A and B are shown apart, each in its own frame.
Chain A
Amino acid sequence: MKITHDDVRHVARLCRLELSGPELELFTHQLDAIVAYVTQLEQLDAPLDGSEAPDSETELTCPDREDEEAPSLDRELLLSQAPAHDGEHFLVPRIIE
């Protein structure tokens, strides 16, 4: 498929990136080349359905552990990293009128 300005505008809006005119031009050109390259996955002739990941020692599991009390990070330390706070809460710009 050919990647157009509209495709790039749509994707940029989805990921909340604002593109300048030259950026839109450049990314359309570059993403078109990259998407053309990755589209070669379509040529893969091996049957893809049912090819699940093989069993391996790296297969992910979610181990359980005891729910133990542990110290939390210090509130003042955490607040010190915020651009604005009131001593108890993070403050962010008002977005609802």
Chain B
Amino acid sequence: MTDLGASDLAGRIRAREVTAQAVTRAHLDRIAALDSTLNSFITVDAEGALASARQVDQRLERGEPVGPLCGVPVALKDNLVTAGIETTAGSRVLRGWRPPYDGTVVARLRAADAVLLGKLNMDEFAMGSSCESSAHGPCRNPWDTGRVPGGSSGGAAAAVAAGLCAAALGTDTGGSIRQPASFCGVVGLKPTYGRVSRMGVIAFASSLDQVGPLARTVRDCALLLEVIGGPDVKDSTCLPAPLQPGSLQQACQRRELKRLRVGIPREYLDQGGLEPSVERAVREAIATLAELGAEVRDVSLPHTRYAIAAYYLIATAEASSNLARYDGVRFGPTLPGARGNLDQMYSASRGEFGAEVKRRIMLGTFALCAGYHDAYYGRAQRVRALIQRDFQRVFDGGCDVIACPTSPCSAFRLGQRLDDPLQMYLADIFTISCNLAGLPGLALPCGLCDEGLPVGLQLLGPPLSEATLLGAGAAYEHATAWHTLRPPLDPVTS
């Protein structure tokens, strides 16, 4: 039961082949058996999950209508605000916070009759690429528990890979859905900026943050995006483009890629530092796309080498502003020791931030400082425009999608990169430009590296091209079996 995907489970529950309560219990049992090792959940809401499942079963018994995710066990990254359920964003600063409302994506999942299992581990405030900066302790990769699951949505990727939930929601600011999906061998979709409401998402970098699904198949990602996406009056950056129910799942019927023009950016694949077995897996995947009928061509994104520098200035500048609210008054602990002046009170509360968050707040503050603003932040914004233009030229020039690796490497060992934050940042090279340009990106399993760890293929497209990306991904998935591989965990429950 814990091996079935979201679409399958919803179908079987709706057909009353299995009850939502049995499905929920199977997942809760598996969490109890495996998560003391993986640490993918920060909070498990067993009671709430079973109550939702019971309601779904009762409604089905009475013959009442149910939503598209009826009884499907879904878990949420802990930066998604949940009414009454502790929401910490992986930080000590928010420990104990029970939000008084649901974020839009959470409300939409509930309205679609999903069963919410709990909150997933993540890098503190989504700042990290390894899930090691969490105040809840690091999450582990189910393929090798000595390795990181990636980040920042590491808990989401690990939980989906290990069958602890059928699907999950993460957030992606610079690759935080796609890179962990790649490290854990699951599918992750970062939608177009504005496709999904950010109301009730704990802000990291507001011009880059986007919510998206992680699941075990492309079709399940399509189903989840149909539920969570679309206009929202509570987020003025949410695009007015409607998302028709069924439209993305329909796109996933695609079985060939005739007339699909796929660009391979030479700056991505010819770049040094790409792990050889990752490169091999991605090149084989591109060959498969060609066998399916796609027309593969060489393209150029000339400003790629400036992307990381621009990203780490823009994202940290926005973070330094967004995280000003953790001051012990609006949010954050009012510490008993804070009895001095107002500044001492702020500092005491902000002393609860972990090292990576402090580092990024300082870098962002530096980038915005008088005297440095134009040289750093201003320049980064203009580079961002050049990177957007690079992509636009490729798409205007006749490419439908871009194919490339998701990450230059497979999952690395816990602790291996903690001492050198710059090296950790540099590994975000293939995912970051997509956020700077506001584009959608899909990561999907495309092989195993020499150590037997998953490798991810990434497909990028123009704004609002999710249906094209999901269609191409589904055709690839149908032609290959990488998405059916499971991590070598004890089969504790069926």
Q: Is the CB of B358 within 8 A of A17?
A: yes
Q: Is the CB of A92 within 8 A of B100?
A: no
Q: Is the CB of B312 within 8 A of A34?
A: yes
Q: Is the CB of A18 within 8 A of B351?
A: yes
Minimum CB–CB distance for B147 against chain A, Å? 24
Q: Is B425 an interface residue (CB 8 A)?
A: yes
Decide: A33 near B422, CB < 8 A? Known: A54-B388, A56-B392: yes
Tell me the nearest residue of chain A to B237, going by C-beta. A60
Identify whether the interface residues of A are mostly helix, strand, loop, or mixed.
Answer: loop
Q: Is the CB of B379 within 8 A of A15?
A: no
Q: Is the CB of A48 within 8 A of B309?
A: no
Minimum CB–CB distance for B424 against chain A, Å? 11
Contacting residues, chain B, for A95 (C-beta < 8 A):
341-342, 345
Q: Is the CB of A58 within 8 A of B239?
A: yes
- The B-contacting residues of A in range 15-72, CB under 8 angstroms, are 15-19, 23, 26-27, 30-31, 33-35, 37-42, 44, 46, 48, 51-54, 56-58, 60, 62-63, 65
Contacting residues, chain A, for B310 (C-beta < 8 A):
41
Q: How far is the CA of A93 from the CA of B333 in the complex (A)?
A: 12
Q: Is B334 an interface residue (CB 8 A)?
A: yes
Q: Is the CB of A14 within 8 A of B369?
A: yes
Q: How far is the CA of A51 from the CA of B320 in the complex (A)?
A: 26
Contact with A along B323-339 (1 / 0, CB 8 A): 01001010001100011
Minimum CB–CB distance for A26 against chain B, Å? 8
Q: Is B361 an interface residue (CB 8 A)?
A: yes
Contacting residues, chain A, for B241 (C-beta < 8 A):
57
Contacting residues, chain A, for B380 (C-beta < 8 A):
38, 41
Q: How far is the CA of A58 from the CA of B193 in the complex (A)?
A: 7
Contacting residues, chain B, for A74 (C-beta < 8 A):
100
Minimum CB–CB distance for A36 against chain B, Å? 9
Q: How far is the CA of A47 from the CA of B342 in the complex (A)?
A: 45
Q: How far is the CA of A15 from the CA of B364 in the complex (A)?
A: 10
Contacting residues, chain B, for A27 (C-beta < 8 A):
358-359, 362
Q: Is the CB of A77 within 8 A of B376?
A: no
Contacting residues, chain A, for B358 (C-beta < 8 A):
17, 19, 23, 27
Contacting residues, chain B, for A17 (C-beta < 8 A):
347, 350-351, 353, 358, 361-362
Q: Is the CB of A38 within 8 A of B309?
A: yes
Q: Is the CB of A56 within 8 A of B388?
A: yes
Minimum CB–CB distance for B306 against chain A, Å? 6
Contacting residues, chain B, for A33 (C-beta < 8 A):
422
- Number of A residues whose C-beta is below 8 Å from B? 49
Decide: A31 near B309, CB < 8 A? Known: A56-B463, A57-B463, A95-B341: no
Decide: A40 near B309, CB < 8 A? Known: A16-B350, A92-B334: yes
Contacting residues, chain B, for A19 (C-beta < 8 A):
358
Q: How far is the CA of A54 from the CA of B100 in the complex (A)?
A: 39
Minimum CB–CB distance for A9 against chain B, Å? 10
Task: Tell me which of A56, A65, A84, A92 contacts B233 (CB under 8 A).
Answer: A65
Decide: A38 near B421, CB < 8 A? Known: A54-B388, A78-B100: no
Q: How far is the CA of A19 from the CA of B365 in the complex (A)?
A: 15
Q: Is A87 an interface residue (CB 8 A)?
A: no
Contacting residues, chain A, for B361 (C-beta < 8 A):
15, 17
Task: Tell me which of A7, A57, A93 contacts B345 (CB under 8 A).
Answer: A93
Q: How far is the CA of A62 from the CA of B239 in the complex (A)?
A: 10
Q: Is the CB of A58 within 8 A of B194?
A: yes
Q: Is the CB of A34 within 8 A of B463?
A: no
Q: Is B438 an interface residue (CB 8 A)?
A: yes
Contacting residues, chain A, for B425 (C-beta < 8 A):
34
Residues of B in contact with A (beta carbons under 8 Å apart): 97-101, 192-194, 233, 236-237, 239-241, 303, 305-306, 308-310, 312-313, 320, 324, 327, 329, 333-334, 338-339, 341-343, 345-348, 350-351, 353, 355, 358-359, 361-363, 365-366, 369, 375-376, 379-380, 382-386, 388-389, 392, 421-422, 425, 438, 463-464
A-B contact pairs, 6 of them (CB 8 A): A14-B365, A19-B358, A31-B363, A48-B383, A56-B438, A57-B463
* Given pairs A51-B385, A51-B386, 7 additional interface contacts (CB within 8 A): A31-B366, A39-B309, A40-B309, A56-B438, A57-B464, A58-B194, A58-B239
